[in-house]
Chains A and B, each alone.
Chain A
Amino acid sequence: MTDRPDPGELADAVRSFLEGEILPALQDPRLKFRALVAANALGILGRDLLLGAELDREEARLLAGLLGQGGDPGADGRALPALNSELCRKIRLGDPPEGSLPALRRIAELKLAIASPGYLEKRS
């Protein structure tokens, strides 16, 4: 499917509509806040469509490395639930693999690039 607008462009169109036309027309502060949250959700969706697959591969690579499965060429997004579960199991048993903290921090940063890209700059 190559029709335009592509999914990201559609999400962006709805986000612009909410921000540009709906938000200024709203009076109720609670409704206004939820409309802002909705616009933000569409921003997350747009970034996920753009970056999600690549970041999933990076997450899978980092997790496979931690779990000693580094050579696995099939490590992609589909392997993520199993990799995360296995890491959780080890940590719950009190035995986190060496390097868990920096790897998980890197993964958290990848997720922030989608969920909240301004967060790390604003964090003081």
Chain B
Amino acid sequence: MSEALRAALQHKLADLLGGEVRIDRFALLAGGASMEAWAVDAQTPQGPMALLLRRGAGGRIYRDALSLEQEHRVLQAAFAGGVTVPQPRGYLGDLLGRDAYVMERVQGEAVGRRLVQKPEFAAARKALPAQMARELARIHALDPAGLAFLPGAGTPSPLRHGLETLTAQLDALGAPYPALELGLLHLRTHLPFEGAQVVCHGDFRIGNFMVGPAGLASVLDWEFAHLGDPREDLAWPMVRNWRFRVDHLRLGGIAGPEEFLERYHALTGRSFTLRELRPFEMLGAVRWAIGALSQARRHLSGEERSVELAVLGRLAAEYQHEVLALLDEGEGS
């Protein structure tokens, strides 16, 4: 399988790069039910390249997640817009029966709990808040006109569209979760549906950045990009689960939110108080709880057997508790 894939890729890359290509290394880095990632070192007409191949591995799992072709187009737009992303190297179309594209392979650490806890990332943690603000400012300045396929595009309120999608995802679980219903009810009445409409990354948090000693080396995981309210992306890295147990540092377990928000405000001219972000933190908490339960369903359905995914179904007690705690704090405001 791996040999056939390597040969097919070599052929595709030769077409793409306009000359002979020799693949020296071809190694599977991660293979889930939905996506494979391969490290590819190749000699090309443009010189040696370290590439990452992203290739589908079967069915689409998430409602409203982008196809690989769309993801590659978003990556191209982000790269052109100066966002720190791996350089997209080309959409390959069908590669032995599955969609695929290649991009530059960036070195670093992406695992959230290591970035938050390990002493060797102390300097990176210091640099990240301002870097995250800069990247978000660039992402939110991207022109959505060429990205009409983004979920939410062409709807009167992309935020409302996002909430409807989330509600449908909860319904698809096929089991009752009253705590999450209560969260959704709060969101229907408290989210400001008439806010700005920008290109949102959709999963902008520690754990989805490649990080080196000096901080952010690239923004990864674009499959949840959509049109939405900028506050969705600002509040998501503050959701408790993305603080990786360093709860008191609201920005992803690495810092307080102040520097991040001030930098973002200075760069964009927008200004949001923490209070204005609260409904979006609630949205993030509900979204994560439903996401975790959906992932547990992948295990239960046999689509991707995994003890990690299975346990998420029970850890969802934490995420539901968080939704209720935020509701409690929000009473009276």
Q: State how many residues of chain A have any CB contact under 8 Å with chain B.
A: 33
Please report which residues of chain B, range 208-257, place their CB below 8 angstroms from some CB of chain A when the two chains form the complex.
Answer: 240, 245, 247-248
A44 to B87, CA, bound (A): 43
Stretch at the interface among B7-15, B43-51, B72-80, B175-183: B175-183
Given contacts A87-B178, A88-B181, A112 and B321 within 8 Å (CB-CB): yes
Q: Quick check: is A13 within 8 A (CB to CB) of the other chain? A: no
Determine whether the beta carbon of B321 is less than 8 Å from that of A105. yes
Given contacts A105-B328, A116-B317, A96 and B182 within 8 Å (CB-CB): yes
The main secondary structure of chain B at its interface with chain A is: helix
Q: Quick check: is B308 within 8 A (CB to CB) of the other chain? A: yes
Name the one of B179, B184, B240 contacting A108, with C-beta atoms under 8 angstroms.
B179
Q: Which residue of A lies closest to B182 (CB)?
A: A91
A94 to B306, CA, bound (A): 37
A33 to B244, CA, bound (A): 14
- Which chain B residues border A111 with CB–CB below 8 Å? 317, 320-321
Q: Which residue of B lies closest to A45 (CB)?
A: B314
- Which chain B residues border A40 with CB–CB below 8 Å? 311
Q: Quick check: is A27 within 8 A (CB to CB) of the other chain? A: no
- Chain A residues within CB distance 8 Å of chain B: 33-34, 37-38, 40-41, 44, 81, 84-85, 87-88, 91-92, 94, 96, 100-101, 104-105, 107-109, 111-112, 114-116, 119-120, 122-124
- Chain B residues within CB distance 8 Å of chain A: 175-179, 181-182, 184-185, 240, 245, 247-248, 306-308, 310-311, 314-318, 320-321, 324-325, 327-328, 331
Given A96-B181, A96-B182, A101-B324, 12 other A-B residues pairs in contact with their CB atoms under 8 A: A33-B308, A41-B307, A44-B311, A84-B175, A88-B178, A88-B181, A92-B181, A101-B328, A104-B179, A105-B324, A108-B324, A116-B314
Pick 16 A–B contacts, CB within 8 A, sort by A: A33-B308, A34-B306, A44-B311, A44-B314, A84-B176, A84-B178, A88-B177, A91-B185, A108-B320, A112-B317, A115-B314, A115-B318, A116-B315, A122-B245, A124-B247, A124-B248
